[in-house]
Amino acid sequence: MSTFVDTVAPARFARYLAWAGNDAALAHRLYNRNVALAEAFYTPLHTLEVVLRNRVDDALSARFSATWYSDPAVVRPYPLQRKVREAHQKLASLGPRLTRGHVVAELSFGFWTGMFNRHQSHLWGILQPIFVGARGLQRKNVSGQLDDIRGLRNRIAHYEPIVQLDLQHAHHEMETLTRWLCPDAAAWNAVHSRFPLVCPPSIIIVNGQVDPALAPNL
């Protein structure tokens, strides 16, 4: 009968063993903690992504049209235009029932973060006001934080290790952006997020090894 390690793949588990100094029991606890952390990020990621896409959509719909995402003068980079076409293709079966809400929900987080990159800088004057909780905000600061968060989100979505990252910093970036976009959503997230209960106060992996101070509580 296959063991747990055989099932998840020895090569995959080897990274956890290395971080645990070949302590198999600690490696298993570290793997468990990685899964728990990924799960705990669901609420803050969910809150930020939904609020971000709705704020962007509201602002651009008011300035341009309800189908702004199909306007090449609004969405200029080819990769973002391709994401819109792919969303329409996935939703084609809806036919005349297709709504703007369907498209907005189908577009990936990569699309929404891409709306703040340098190729979309022509929209910053319209999008900057959606960050109601911040003053003097610059596009590159928003873009940089969103890129960081998208990278973490992708690791979680592909079941990659995240225990080696500075997760407190990543969570702080999510909290900050959500608060800038909608203080009320940030307050809701603070009540419902399990992240503070799951994540240690300091980085788990230090110099390629589990921090000995954290190991007993993993």
Query: What is the model's pTM?
Result: 0.93
Nearest 10 degrees: Cα torsion 10, 12, 13, 18: 110
> Does some domain include residue 155?
yes
Neighbours of 152 (CB within 10 A): 20
Pairing of strands 205-206, 209-210: antiparallel
List pLDDT tens digits, range 94-113: 888 888 899 999 999 999 99
C-beta separation of 98 from 91 below 8 A: yes
Domain count, the chain: 1
List pLDDT tens digits, range 21-58: 999 999 999 999 999 999 999 999 999 999 999 999 99
| Parent domain of 107 | 16-217
> Does some domain include residue 99?
yes
Tokens 């959509």 map to which residue?
57
Q: Beta partners for 119? A: none
> Does some domain include residue 23?
yes
Q: Where are the beta strands (DSSP E) in the chain?
A: 205-206, 209-210
> Does some domain include residue 2?
no
> Does some domain include residue 10?
no
C-beta separation of 189 from 47 below 8 A: yes
Is 70's pLDDT higher than 90? yes
Q: So what's the pLDDT on residue 3? A: 87
Task: Quote the mean pLDDT of the chain.
Answer: 95
> Does some domain include residue 6?
no
Percentage above 70 pLDDT, the chain: 100
Angle, CA 4 vertex, CA 156 and CA 217 arms, to 5°: 65
Q: Beta partners for 206? A: 209
> Does some domain include residue 89?
yes
Polymer length in residues for the chain: 218
Q: Return d(Cα 79, Cα 108) in angstroms, integer.
A: 12
Residue burial 15-32, b: 16+ Cβ < 10 Å; e: rest: bbbebbeeeeebbbbbbe
Q: So what's the pLDDT on residue 140? A: 95
> Does some domain include residue 21?
yes
